[in-house]
Amino acid sequence: MNILQQEPIAALATAPGIGAIAVLRVSGERAIEITNRLFRGKDLTQQASHTAHFGTIRDQANTVIDEVLVTIFRSPASFTKEDVVEISCHGSEYVIRQILRLLLKEGVRMAQPGEFTQRAFLNGQFDLVQAEAVADLIAADSEATHRAALTQLRGGFSRQLKALRQQLIEFAALIELELDFGEEDVEFAQRDDLRQLVWSIQRVLRPLIESFSVGNAIKNGVATVLAGKPNAGKSTLLNALLNEEKAIVSDIPGTTRDVIEDELFIDGIRFRLIDTAGLREATDAIEAIGVERTRQQLDKAAIIVYLFDAAETPLTELEEVRAELQQRNVPYLLVANKMDKLSEEQLAEWQLRFGNELVAIQANTGNNLDQMTRRLTDFVRSNAVPGSTVVTNLRHYEHLTQTDAALARVLDGLDAGSTQDWLAIDLRDALRHLGELTGEITTDDLLATIFSKFCIGK
Ligand SMILES: Nc1nc2c(ncn2[C@@H]2O[C@H](COP(=O)(O)OP(=O)(O)OP(=O)(O)O)[C@@H](O)[C@H]2O)c(=O)[nH]1
Ligand SMILES: [Mg+2]
């Protein structure tokens, strides 16, 4: 691929604010030459790629601005594939501003948000899925988000999809060719082969589409709803998990009336813990609203933790609760709270009955909480197999589902013996969505939207 060296741009690559050091990045045509003009030390233009050089940056009056370490990367062996210089200086805002000012005087322009990554993309450093993974990686603040972004950065699903898209293009071309023959009844494209190909593409798409709910949970937190009857100890449990007195606890049933939410990282996974009003026939109008909100939260839950008072809940009631939870199709956990009031025999009987679906805890002392949280992380992990690709990006998800829908129409068309022009429309649709997914088809608008989400300097 031809490397296009565009006008030089610069930006602070490290986080703004005061730090021990800061890194300024310059990329583009003459980046090394321009930096060299400000630099006193070795002649940078004569140095090999991937070497670091100590020296000073001076202004026109030959005043030393700072002592710096300059690293040079020669095209195409750099992040943007252009000539790149990284200037590590002291992390003072004054120094950073002065060096940037000198660079601008030499004809360098300030970079737009995401412009470095955009150039890397345009020069074929990686595809769009990977470029977006760079953004996610920078924003990643939990171990799981970080892992998901890294998998996508390493090539993830786009390589496989590109190959399949290529095969689909060949079929589409044959069908378009049939169209050219108009009235004549010719079939260049083997319908059975096309069907096979569509199936194999769907086999790749489907797990990716399904991974989105997990991916989304990883990114935004797993909505974990603490539900149960009043006084079960839901708020006590929330406080114990958060290790702070977030919610009011009392022995009056119906204490919590609104939804209380906070985040908690367990084992690198972000959970959104949601404490709710206890479920019962409300005794007043406000409590009724609270109970209604609990129901809404249950409908949106990713995991339901159903808490009950171990000393006051008969087996028949538990069986009913479990039947209701099973209807909801989300992972749930039956949590017997106040195990201090529970006999060994009773617990053994429940465990025999409910197995892994039940754990006993004592929320007010924190006893056995680790057993419960381990169950929660297991739910998430069992859905997201380590190393498999998890789709976390809404844009990817939409193109994946639309490709899938277009392919389903192709299959319907094949079954119904549709004419070429109908098949051609659906094939083009599928190709377009696949192409936009991996960045083989791009519009300026799309690029602008994606890269503007980056911060300046990335
Ligand atoms: N013995 C015992 N008491 C507990 C335990 N956990 C909570 N409690 C008590 O149970 C009572 C109710 O606790 P809450 O946390 O307010 O219960 P809740 O489920 O949030 O109740 P509502 O907000 O009314 O729905 C309080 O008096 C707690 O101190 C436990 O493990 N053992
Ligand atoms: Mg409460």
| Helix extents (H) in 269-368 | 285-300, 315-327, 344-354
Residue 306 phi/psi, 5-degree rounding, is -95, 115
| Nearest atom (ligand 1) to Cα of 367 | 31
Diameter of the chain measured on Cα atoms: 87
Residues with CB under 5 A from ligand 2 (ion): 234-235, 255-256
Is pLDDT of 361 > 80? yes
Confidence band for 439, pLDDT divided at 50, 70 and 90: confident
Is pLDDT of 88 > 90? yes
pLDDT at res. 195: 92
Cα-to-centroid distance, 232 and ligand 1 (Å):
5
SS (H, E, C) 162-177: HHHHHHHHHHHHHHHH
Q: Which two tokens stand for residue 419?
A: 């004419």
The edge-to-edge listing of strands for the beta sheet with 358-360 is: 260-266, 269-275, 222-228, 303-309, 332-337, 358-360
Cβ(335) – ligand 1 distance below 6 Å: no
**Amino acid in position 75:** S
- What is the average pLDDT across 312-329? 92
Q: Which of 245, 249, 338 to mutate to test the pocket of ligand 1 (most atoms within 8 A of CB)?
A: 249
Confidence band for 163, pLDDT divided at 50, 70 and 90: confident
C-alpha 364, offset from chain centre: 35
Residue 401 phi/psi, 5-degree rounding, is -70, -35
Cβ(156) – ligand 1 distance below 6 Å: no
pLDDT at res. 332: 93
What region, left, alpha or beta, does residue 9 occupy, with left being phi > 0 and alpha being psi -120 to 50 degrees? beta
Find which of 82-96, 183-197, 254-268 is predicted with most confidence, using mean pLDDT: 82-96
Is pLDDT of 36 > 80? yes
Closest CA to 78 of 13, 20, 148: 13
Closest CA to 148 of 386, 405, 418: 386
Cβ(294) – ligand 1 distance below 6 Å: no
Confidence band for 216, pLDDT divided at 50, 70 and 90: low
How many residues does the structure list for the chain? 458
| Nearest atom (ligand 1) to Cα of 253 | 24
Instruction: Write out the H or E segment, with its range, that includes residue 224.
Output: strand 222-228
Q: Give whole-number Cα distances, 215 to 143, 176, 348, 402, 432, in Å.
A: 13, 38, 37, 18, 24
User: Do residues 359 and 375 touch, judged by C-beta distance below 8 A?
Assistant: yes
More confident residue, 375 or 446: 375
The dihedral sign for the CA sequence 125, 129, 132, 133: negative
More confident residue, 77 or 212: 77
Cα-to-centroid distance, 234 and ligand 1 (Å):
7
Confidence band for 398, pLDDT divided at 50, 70 and 90: confident
Cα-to-centroid distance, 356 and ligand 2 (Å):
25
Is pLDDT of 455 > 50? yes
User: Do residues 230 and 278 touch, judged by C-beta distance below 8 A?
Assistant: yes
Starting from the CA of residue 287, give the closest ligand. Answer: 1
**Residues with Cβ within 8 Å of residue 23, at least 6 apart in sequence:** 12, 13, 14, 86, 87, 88, 89
pLDDT at res. 386: 43
| Nearest atom (ligand 1) to Cα of 232 | 19
Burial (CB count <10 Å: 0-12, 13-18, 19+), residue 369: middle
Confidence band for 383, pLDDT divided at 50, 70 and 90: low
- Per-residue pLDDT tens digits for 166-192: 888 888 888 888 877 766 667 777 888
Is pLDDT of 385 > 50? no
**Residues with Cβ within 8 Å of residue 381, at least 6 apart in sequence:** 269
- Which of 30-34, 63-67, 277-281, 382-386 has the least mean pLDDT? 382-386
Q: Which of 231, 234, 241, 248 to mutate to test the pocket of ligand 1 (most atoms within 8 A of CB)?
A: 231
CB-CB neighbours of 90 under 10 Å: 16
| Nearest atom (ligand 1) to Cα of 307 | 19
User: Do residues 12 and 96 touch, judged by C-beta distance below 8 A?
Assistant: yes
Cα-to-centroid distance, 226 and ligand 2 (Å):
9
Is pLDDT of 20 > 80? yes
Classified as helix, coil or strand, 244 is coil
Torsion of CA 223, 304, 282, 229, to 10 degrees: -130
**Residues with Cβ within 8 Å of residue 241, at least 6 apart in sequence:** 264, 273, 369, 373
**Residues with Cβ within 8 Å of residue 15, at least 6 apart in sequence:** none
pLDDT at res. 122: 81
Cα-to-centroid distance, 354 and ligand 2 (Å):
25
User: Do residues 91 and 22 touch, judged by C-beta distance below 8 A?
Assistant: yes
Starting from the CA of residue 250, give the closest ligand. Answer: 1
Instruction: Write out the H or E segment, with its range, that includes residue 407.
Output: helix 394-415
Closest residue by Cα to atom 12, ligand 1, is 231
Q: Which of 335, 364, 367 to mutate to test the pocket of ligand 1 (most atoms within 8 A of CB)?
A: 364
Q: Which two tokens stand for residue 371?
A: 């057993």
Cβ(231) – ligand 1 distance below 6 Å: yes
